[in-house]
Homo-oligomer: A and B are copies of this chain.
Amino acid sequence: MSPRAEFDLIARIRNRNLTAKASVRTGIGDDCAVLAPSGENEVTVTTDMLVEGVDFERTWMPAAFLGWKSLAVSVSDLAAMGAEPTGCLLALALPPELTDSYFDNFMEGFLQGCELWSVPLVGGDISSSPIVSVTVTAFGAVPPGQAIYRRGARPGTFITVIGDLGLSRRGLELLQKEQPLLSEQLSTRDDLERWSGTPGRARAFRAHLLPRPLLSAGIWIRKNGLAESMIDVSDGLLADLQHILQESGVAAEIDAESLEPLQTVVKPSLELEMLLNGGEDYALLLTSTREQLGIMNERHPEDFPRFFTIGRVIQGSPSISLLEGGSKRLLSCKGFEHFR
C-alpha cells in the first residue's frame, strides 16, 4: 500500500473513531498511543490474529463480521482474566484490489465492537498483502492480584461452563459445506438472521461469524471472587480444559449427562464431539468451590448467560475422563488429539 493511501485510511479511522475514554491520553496519529497511568491496577495484554484461508474465507466472511470478530476474539481473552478493557490496536493487511468499501465495512464492524465493549481503538498499522489478515491487540485493567489465571484449579472443586459450546463449529461446518457467497452488504445481525433461513442455522452462523465474548460475565465473576481458575474456550472445551489442568497440575472428570442441555440448545442437537472439540466458542470455562458455585447460582445478574457445572477437578496428572452411563473413558492428552 502506498504511504499516501495508508494516510488516507488512517484519516478515515480517526474521523470515525468516536469512542473516547479517560484512559486515553493520545490515540491514533503519533508514534505511539499514550494511555493514562493505570494507578494501582495491573495491565492485561493479549494479541490475536485472523488469517484468510486459515481462519476464514473471504467468500463467506463479510468484511463487517470480520471486523467484529477480530476484536471479539481479543476481548474474550480480557474476559477470561476478569479484566476491564482499556484500549486496542489494529494491524490490518489487505490485498490492494479490495475496494475502499471493504475497508469501511470492516471498520464499521470493528468500531461497533469498540462501542459495545468500551474498547477505544488507539492506534494500529495498515499494510498491503496478498491475503487479508488481522491482528488485534487488546489491553485491560484489573485490580492488583485479582486477575483470574489458568493455574488456580484445585482438586475437590467444580468445573463450570458459561455460554454455549459447539454452535460455532456447526456454523463453520455449514459454511465450509455450502460455500455460500455472502455479500459484502451483509453487515448486521439482522441481515445474517434473514439470510440464515431457520433459527437453528441462524444461531450457528451467529456463533461463528458474530461471536459475543462474555465480558460482563467475566468481570462479574472476578468482582465477586467466584472462580479459582478461568480460561475462554477458543481451541475447544477439551483443549482449553487441558490448559487449565496442565498449568494447575491436576486432572478432571466430566459428566457426559451434564452436557446434554448444551447439546440440545439447537435443532438438530449438537454431537458430543462438536461440543468437546468445536472451538471458537468464546464461552468461559472456570473452576470454583461449592461455596462459590452457591453464590453464582443465587446472585448472578438477570441477564447473565446460562451456565452449567459439567464436572470436577481431581488429583492426578493432567488428563480428562468422561463419565458416561456408569463407565469412565480416559481422554488423556493423547486422547483428545484423536478426537480432532
Contacts from A to B (Cβ < 8 Å): 1-4, 25-26, 29-49, 51, 53-55, 77-78, 80-81, 83, 87, 89-91, 93, 122-125, 127-131, 133, 135, 137, 139-140, 142, 144, 147, 149-151, 230-232, 235-236, 239, 247, 337, 340
Given contacts A30-B149, A30-B151, 19 further A-B pairs with CB under 8 A are A1-B54, A3-B235, A3-B236, A3-B340, A31-B232, A32-B45, A32-B147, A35-B42, A36-B42, A36-B43, A37-B41, A43-B43, A45-B122, A47-B91, A47-B124, A48-B91, A54-B128, A129-B133, A133-B133
B47 contacts A123, CB within 8 Å? Answer: yes
Given A38-B37, A51-B128, A46-B31 contact (CB < 8 Å): yes
Chain B residues with CB below 8 A from A87, complex form: 45
Question: Of B42, B46, B337, which one neighbours A37 at CB under 8 angstroms?
Answer: B42
Q: Offer 10 A-B interface pairs, CB within 8 angstroms, sorted by A.
A: A2-B340, A3-B236, A25-B42, A34-B43, A34-B142, A37-B41, A38-B43, A45-B139, A48-B125, A54-B129
Taken together as a complex, chains A and B put the C-alpha atoms of A239 and B2 apart, in Å, by 12
- Measured between beta carbons, the chain B residues less than 8 angstroms from A140 are 32
B contact residues around A3 at 8 Å (CB):
235-236, 239, 340
